[in-house]
Amino acid sequence: MPEQLLTLEQVADYLNVDRFTVYRLLADKDLPAFKVGNQWRFKKKLLENWLKKNSNVQRKRSQ
């Protein structure tokens, strides 16, 4: 099964933050991501791992 990739807007929605917060996390090199052309992409599994390491509160999965 291929890894699920998320867009910046999807990540902002998933984390329940503004997209500018996602940009700040990217600028701080805090969020695992890579660029495809000029657009950011996020592997959902890496994002979930990052969230576990950086949050004391377990997030209810939306899916």
Residue 36's DSSP bridge partners are 39
**What pLDDT digit, counting tens, does each position of 5-60 carry?**
999 999 999 999 999 999 999 999 989 999 999 999 999 999 999 999 987 544 44
Q: Is the pTM of this model over 0.85?
A: no
Identify which of 36, 42, 38, 34 has the alpha carbon closest to the alpha carbon of residue 5. 42
The string of DSSP codes covering 20-47 is: HHHHHHHHTT-S--EEETTEEEEEHHHH
For residue 42, which amino acid is it? F
Position 2 scores a pLDDT of 80
Residue 41's DSSP bridge partners are 34
